[in-house]
Amino acid sequence: MPETPLLLTSHLPSASAIKDIAVAETDTGPQVVCADARGAVWTWDPSRDAWKRRQLTYAFTGDPLAARYPDAENEIDKVAAAVVDGRVVLAAGGDEQAPALWDLETGDLLRGTTYDAPYLGAIATVRGEGPPRFVTGSQYVGRLLLWEPSGRTPPVEVPNDLYDITSLAAAWVDGRSLVASGGDQVDVWDLARDEQVASFDSYDGDVLAVSFARLGDRPVVVAATDSREVYVWDLSDDGDGEPVRDPIDGHEGPVLALDTAAVGARGIVVTGSEDRTVRLWDLTEGTAIGAPLTGHQTGVETLVTTTLRGRDVVVSADGGGAVHVWDLAAAVSAGGSR
């Protein structure tokens, strides 16, 4: 019998909904960073099942208005994290707060924000040549910015055609640093060249989550919409802008979260839904792998693929503050071979 895919379950001490998660790969293992529905930031060490609330300097400390409200707190619901020069740098904000950068361990503010800056719509960590960076997309004004983690240089604006950025993904693809921004469509930009690589129509609904993957030797973009459908588009030079197949549709509620991974040579799409399930899909065939992964008692708000103790895993979080860690290889094995 195949082993169960569920490795770990834990619960956020605040019992609040987890709105977003990120993973920082430290020397002692992955550190999961969570933003809860109350605007607080927590870290979870899965190896010890240890939670810690992070006390972060108020992002508006340098603003004169902030001095009039000394008890004001950050309102964070979107996070990204990366290890830079031995410390974990947090980039975060929310739908009522523009992005800012902190030293996660000390809580010191590396770069603050102002009250007139656009609120954060989405955020992602950019990895590739050189140290990690962060890319942020704003709500309603569609501003896409690239941030250096040191906070010493101003963020660089990246061209963008979207009015309202709801999701972001970044990846190093065939020697190019690419970012995909989702809203009423998906746009892909080359960060080094400041040029648009592709634009794809989501056809039905707004894009709530987006990721990069490989379909054989071709780079692709995978996106989930609020209409429950998951689209795959070809990024190679011979792509025609149309989805590579009919959209994946199997959840019984909106798809709120998505990431991609590979188990051996098999490309996997992982989705989380308001229907309280996590599902795995074969990227090549567009078909479900096994039965839905169940255990969440409320909708799956966010998920991410990473490694834990040498295993490829999915970390998923829900509206009740529960976090599940799933073994990807075990889930694929339980779902059977192609």
Kindly state whether residue 223 falls inside one of the protein's structural domains. Answer: no
Span 286-334, pLDDT tens digits: 999 999 999 999 999 999 999 988 899 999 999 999 999 999 999 998 8
Task: Select from 158, 184, 210 the last residue of a domain.
Answer: 158
Contacts with 26 (C-beta within 8 Å, 6 or more apart), sequence order: 83, 88
Domain limit, last residue, from 158, 188, 217? 158
Query: Facing residues of 134 across strands?
Result: 125, 147
For the cut 60, the answer to whether the pLDDT of residue 91 exceeds it is yes
Quote the pLDDT of residue 158. 87
Residue 258 domain-assigned? yes
Q: 147 and 135, same structural domain?
A: yes
Per the listing, tokens 């604006």 go with 157
Is 24 a residue whose pLDDT tops 90? yes
pTM, two decimals, is 0.93
Bigger pLDDT: 129 or 330? 330
pLDDT at 65 over 70: no
Same domain, 12 and 52: no
Where is the domain boundary, 107, 127, 158? 158
Q: What is the pLDDT of residue 205?
A: 77
**Is the domain of 41 the same as that of 117?**
yes
CATH number for 28: 2.130.10.10
The CA distance from 281 to 255, in Å, is 13
Which are the contacts of 248, defined by CB distance < 8 A and separation ≥ 6? 229, 230, 231, 232, 269, 281, 286
133 and 257: one domain? no
- Residue span of the structural domain in which 97 resides: 18-158
Distance from the first to the final alpha carbon of the chain:
18
Same-domain status, 12 and 22: no
Residues 10 and 102 in one domain: no
Q: CA 313 to CA 25: how far, in whole Å?
A: 14
pLDDT digits (tens, 9 = 90+) for 169-199: 999 999 999 999 999 999 999 998 888 999 9
Q: What is the mean pLDDT of residues 97-113?
A: 94
Name which of 240, 241, 248, 201 is nearest 224 in CA terms: 248
Residue type, 230: V
Order of strands, sheet of 18-26, starting from the edge strand that comes earlier in the sequence: 18-26, 29-36, 41-45, 50-54
The tokens for 193 are 């060249």
Residue 262 lies in a domain: yes
Q: Put residue 15 in one of left, alpha, beta given phi > 0 → left and psi -120 to 50 → alpha.
A: left
The answer as to whether 168 is a domain residue is no
- Report angle CA 281, 315, 251 to the nearest 5 degrees: 35
Whether residue 281 contacts residue 288, with contact meaning beta carbons closer than 8 Å, is answered with yes
Q: For residue 24, is it within any domain?
A: yes
Q: How many domains does the chain have?
A: 2
213 domain residue, yes or no: no
283 & 301 share domain? yes
Kindly state the percentage of the chain with pLDDT values over 90: 70
Q: Do 255 and 130 fall within a single domain?
A: no
Give the whole-angstrom CA distance, residue 178 versus residue 174.
Answer: 10
How far is Cα 122 from Cα 158, in angstroms, rounded to an integer? 14
pLDDT exceeds 60 at position 2: no
Residues 259 and 271 in one domain: yes
In angstroms, the CA 149 to CA 256 distance is 28
Same domain, 9 and 119: no
Q: What CA–CA distance (Å, rounded) separates 25 from 28?
A: 8
Residue 257 lies in a domain: yes
User: Do 136 and 41 share a domain, yes or no?
Assistant: yes
